[in-house]
Amino acid sequence: MLPDQELLNLKRGGESEQLEMKPSTAQGDSIRRAVCAFANDLLGQGNGGVVLIGLHSDGSSAGIEDVDRAQRLLSDWVHSGMILPLPDVEIYCRDLEDFPVIVLEVRAHANPPVRYKGQVWVRIGTSIHRCTPEQEHRLVERRRGGDRPFDGRPTQGASMADFDLDYFELEYLPNAVASDVLESSQRTMHEQLRALRLLTEGVPNNGGVLVLGHDPAAHIPGAYLQFLRIDGKELGDPIKDEKNLSGSLPRVMAQLDGLLDIHVLVAVDIESGSRERRHPDYPVVALQQLARNALIHRSYEATHAPVRIYWFNDRIEIHNPGGLYGQVTRENFGQGATDYRNPLIAEAMHVLGYVQRFGYGVPLARRHLRDYNNPEPEFLFEPTYVAVTVRAAG
C-alpha cells in the first residue's frame, strides 16, 4: 500500500501517466480500461499506476455513498476475467484530506500485453488508447524471461506441428481477441500465438501445449486424468469403469463432463425396464468445478502423476498433484483468495468458458452441494497434493 503522503502528492499533482481519478464506480468501463492500461505499463518503467475512486478530475471530492459495496464491486471487476491475464491490483480505502477515497494500486504486469474484453489498452500521458500493433510488439518484447511460471516456459522438443491450429483459429482466437481487432489484423498465425503468450522464445510453451496440443502427455507425462468407478467403498473393491482421459485440457474437460453425467445416479424401474433420472446423489456442476479446479491448479513439474478421480459407492475423491500455491492458505482456501501456479492455463480456460469467474469454483461447488443436501466437501492439504472428498446425499 502506498503511504498517505504519496497518495496526497499524486492527487495534488492531478491526472498524469500514473494517476487516473474517477468520481464513482458508475464509470466501470473506463475504470477497467485504466487498470488494463496501467498493467501494460507501455513506457516500461515498472511503475504501473493508481486509480482513485471518489474524486472529480480536478481532485475535488465526489463522495462515496457505500465504501464497502464499492470495494466489493471493484474487486469483482478485477477478478471477473474480463481483464486477462489477471492484473495485480491492491484495493483499499484511505481518507485523503478528510474524505474517503478508494485506491486501486495497479502493478505493471510481468507478462503483457494485458487485454480488457479482448483489446489491449495503453496509457499515453493522461489519455488511454487502444494499442497499436507497434506498441503491442513492444509489450511482447518486454516480457520477463527469468521468472516464468511452468506454463510459460518453452516445451523442450515441441514445435508448431504439436498444436491443433484449426482449434486455435476456430475456437480459441475468436474468444480471446475482440472481433473488430481480428477483422483488421494482418498477423500471421505465429504472431497471433505469440501475442497470446502461447509461444515463448518462438516455440510452444507448456501452457500452449496443454491447451492446444494434439498429445500433451508426449511432452508432459502427467498430463492426463485417471477415472475409476469402484463398486464398493475401498480401492481394492471391483472396478466398474476405468478411463484415462488424455489430449488437450479442453478435450479432457469435455470428455469428463460427459463421463460425470453418465455416472450420476439414474433410477431404474425393474418391472417396466424404464430409466428415469431422479434427484441425483451428486450435483454435476459441483463435480465439474472441483475437477476443473484440480486440472488447472495442479503441479505438472517433477511428477508424472495424473489428476485422479475415484468414484466409490458412498463418495467421490479427487486428487491432484501439488500443494496450495502462493497466497492461498488452508485458512483462506475457497474464500475468494486467488493465486496461480499456472496463470496461462487459468486464462485459457476462462477464454474457452470452462472458468466463468476466478476464485469462484469452490464456492460454486459448495453452493450446489448444499442445494442437493450433500455434506460439505472435505479438503485435505498436503505439501505435495490436494484432495477433496464429496459424499453422497443422505
140 or 265: which leads in pLDDT: 140
| Residues 100-151 pLDDT 10s | 999 999 999 988 899 999 999 999 999 999 998 888 877 877 665 546 889 9
Q: What is the pLDDT of residues 328-363, one digit of tens each?
A: 888 888 776 677 889 999 999 999 999 877 778 899
Provide the pLDDT for residue 310: 97
Of 70-79, 214-223, 327-336, the least confident:
327-336
Q: pLDDT higher for 186 or 247? A: 247
Q: If pLDDT is split at 50, 70 and 90, which confidence band does 7 have? A: very high
Residue type present at position 69: R
Give the rounded percent of residues in the chain with a pLDDT score beyond 90: 68
Q: Give 389's pLDDT tier (boundaries 50, 70, 90).
A: very high
Contact 28, 70 (CB under 8 A): no
- Nearest residue to 251 via CA among 302, 203, 217: 217
* pLDDT band (50, 70, 90) for residue 267: very low
Judged against a pLDDT cut of 70, whether residue 43 lies above it is answered with: yes
**Burial degree of 363 (CB within 10 A; 0-12, 13-18, 19+):** middle
Q: How far apart are CA 87 and CA 106, in angstroms?
A: 7
The span from the CA of 158 to the CA of 209, in Å, is: 8
Identify the top-confidence range among 8-17, 214-223, 328-337.
Answer: 214-223
* Burial (CB count <10 Å: 0-12, 13-18, 19+), residue 233: exposed
Match 469462484 to its residue by C-alpha cell.
Answer: 360
188 by Cβ neighbours in 10 Å (0-12 / 13-18 / 19+) ranks as exposed
Task: Decide if pLDDT at 171 tops 90.
Answer: yes
- The pLDDT assigned to 235 comes to 92
For the chain, what percent of residues have pLDDT higher than 70? 94
What is the SS3 string spanning the chain? CCCHHHHHHHHHHCCECCEEEECCHHHHHHHHHHHHHHHHCCCCCCCCEEEEECECCCCCECCCCCHHHHHHHHHHHHHCCCEECCCCEEEEEEEECCEEEEEEEECCCCCCCCEECCEEEEEECCEEEECCHHHHHHHHHCCCCCCCCHHHCECCCCCHHHECHHHHHHHHHHHHCCHHHHHHCCCCHHHHHHHCCCEECCEEEHHHHHHHECCHHHCCCCCCEEEEEECCCCCCCCEEEEEEECCCHHHHHHHHHHHHHHHCCCEECCCCCCEECCCCCCCHHHHHHHHHHHHHHCCCCCCCCCEEEEECCCEEEEEEECCCCCCCCCCCCCCCCCCCCCHHHHHHHHHCCCCCCCCCHHHHHHHHHHHCCCCCCEEEECCCEEEEEEECCC
Answer yes or no: are the C-beta atoms of 206 and 153 closer than 8 Å. Answer: yes
Q: Name all domains of the chain by residue range, CATH numbers in brackets.
A: 4-129 (3.30.950.30), 145-214 (no CATH), 225-391 (3.30.565.60)
